[in-house]
């Protein structure tokens, strides 16, 4: 619900298609979802590096990073997670309009919240990428030591332990990120972008 009174949407002089033409590629969002430790951020940043080297204009929205600023006032309840994603989706809309190829790495555990994101961004503007990694492998990685704390009851509402994760039913891409190499994952994502005509190189 919009609660800001007396606001009028301004018409832009420079349109999204013009920005895309200048950039030499289409703008789209790559939405990486999966458990903590499934490789979302690692793959997203590796894909961005590849795209950057190809001359694409890119930006990664990382789940941890946005909670240091834009979403720093939110916790990890299901309600706060939903609001976190709503804010990010609205931000992504602006980047899409700017002609930027954006990548988002968020656990985004609840199906209805991912559907909300698609509704805000537009399904045609989003490629859903499921980093399908078994919980036991995610726990073995446990780079931040958070699974250990969650198992000890020190962290509440931890996805996969004390809070649910609803796997995507029909993702655009499924990466077996517990078994496929980082290079394989990047190749699959770049291949999808080429096949869709998002990038031409």
Q: How many other C-beta atoms are found inside a 10 Å radius of the C-beta of residue 93?
A: 16
Q: Look at residues 178, 189, 201 and name the one whose alpha carbon lies nearest to residue 29.
A: 189
- Residue 52 CA to residue 59 CA, distance in Å, equals 9
Burial of 115 (0-12, 13-18, 19+ CB in 10 A): exposed
Burial of 96 (0-12, 13-18, 19+ CB in 10 A): buried
Residue 3 in tokens:
């609660």
- Bridge-partner residues for 33, per DSSP? 130
- Bridge-partner residues for 126, per DSSP? 29
Residue 4 bears catalytic tag? no
- Backbone phi and psi for residue 142, each to the nearest 5 degrees, phi listed first: 30, 55
- Residue 98 CA to residue 26 CA, distance in Å, equals 10
Of 108, 162, 163, 177, catalytic: 108
Which of the residues are catalytic? 108
């Amino acid at each position: 619900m919009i609660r800001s009174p007396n606001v009028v949407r301004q018409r832009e002089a420079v349109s999204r298609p013009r920005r895309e033409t200048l950039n030499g590629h289409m703008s789209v969002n790559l939405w990486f979802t999966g458990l903590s430790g499934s490789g979302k951020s690692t793959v997203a940043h590796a894909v961005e590096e590849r795209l950057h080297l190809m001359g694409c204009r890119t930006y990664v929205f990382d789940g941890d990073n946005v909670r240091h600023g834009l979403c720093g006032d939110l916790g990890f309840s299901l309600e706060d997670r939903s609001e976190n994603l709503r804010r990010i989706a609205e931000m992504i809309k602006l980047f899409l309009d700017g002609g930027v190829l954006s990548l988002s790495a968020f656990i985004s555990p609840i199906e209805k919240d991912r559907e909300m994101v698609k509704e805000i961004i537009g399904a045609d503007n989003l490629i859903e990428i499921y980093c399908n990694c078994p919980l036991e492998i995610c726990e073995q990685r446990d780079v931040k030591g958070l699974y250990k704390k969650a198992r000890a009851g020190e962290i509440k509402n931890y996805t996969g332990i004390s809070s649910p994760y609803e796997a995507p039913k029909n993702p655009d891409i499924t990466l077996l990120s517990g078994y496929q190499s980082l290079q394989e994952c990047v190749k699959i994502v770049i291949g999808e972008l080429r096949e869709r005509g998002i990038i031409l190189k």
